[in-house]
Amino acid sequence: MTDDERGQFELSRRKVLGSMAIIGAAGAGAGAGTWAAWEDSETSEDNYVEAGDMELALHTGQSGSWILQVDGVAPGDSGEETGTLENVGDIEGELSAEVTDVGGANNDLAQDLEIRIPFTGVAAIGPHTADDLEGREVTGPVLSAGDTQEVRFEWEIADPPTGNGAGERVSFEVEFTLEHA
């Protein structure tokens, strides 16, 4: 009896590898078909990132952006004016103030005029005489969107005065800043 008659056949490496490739492909096809039956997808559309807005508004109750305008002062006079700062943006920020552009700082009135600029209940610039006011700054509170902070301008003329400030004028600006905290 020959090998063919006993049911034996010859295997070559090529036949074995070919058979394994066919079995693997059939298994992969069956698995992919099963996997696809359990799949779903959704699309996320219109995605974006947008920066917020920082904006500070000064409400003075006056027509204009000034808080303090006083005429006809004399030794011993004093007073205060109030304004409100509001964060009208949508990002919180730390409030600060700096005195700039002091005019008349070398006259007699500047030596007798004492100014204090407080953020109510928090911190203040001064008190300083007007001749020493330039560049003074203060850091206030953090304002969230929609928050407000009252600021006052307080002033007083020395009595007795150190010089003759009659007819003189002192001017200054206060720059309020809102910076991301």
- Taking the C-alpha atoms of residue 181 and residue 179, their distance in angstroms, rounded to an integer, is 6
Residue 5 sits in which domain range? Answer: 1-37
The answer on 65 and 32 residing in a single domain is: no
The answer on 145 and 62 residing in a single domain is: yes
Query: Across the 181 residues of the chain, what is the mean pLDDT of every consecutive 10-residue run?
Result: 60 74 72 63 88 88 78 94 93 94 91 91 90 93 94 93 91 92 75
Report pLDDT for 77.
96
The answer on 163 and 105 residing in a single domain is: yes
Count of structural domains within the chain? 2
> Do the domain assignments include residue 42?
no
The answer on 150 and 91 residing in a single domain is: yes
The answer on 30 and 64 residing in a single domain is: no
**pTM metric for this prediction:** 0.71
> Do the domain assignments include residue 43?
no
- Taking the C-alpha atoms of residue 32 and residue 68, their distance in angstroms, rounded to an integer, is 79
The answer on 149 and 105 residing in a single domain is: yes
What is the chain's length?
181
The answer on 12 and 68 residing in a single domain is: no
- Taking the C-alpha atoms of residue 1 and residue 120, their distance in angstroms, rounded to an integer, is 115
- CATH number of the domain at 73, please: 2.60.40
Report pLDDT for 2.
57
> Do the domain assignments include residue 82?
yes
The answer on 80 and 31 residing in a single domain is: no
Report pLDDT for 29.
63
> Do the domain assignments include residue 124?
yes
Nearest to 56 by CA among 82, 98, 100, 91: 91
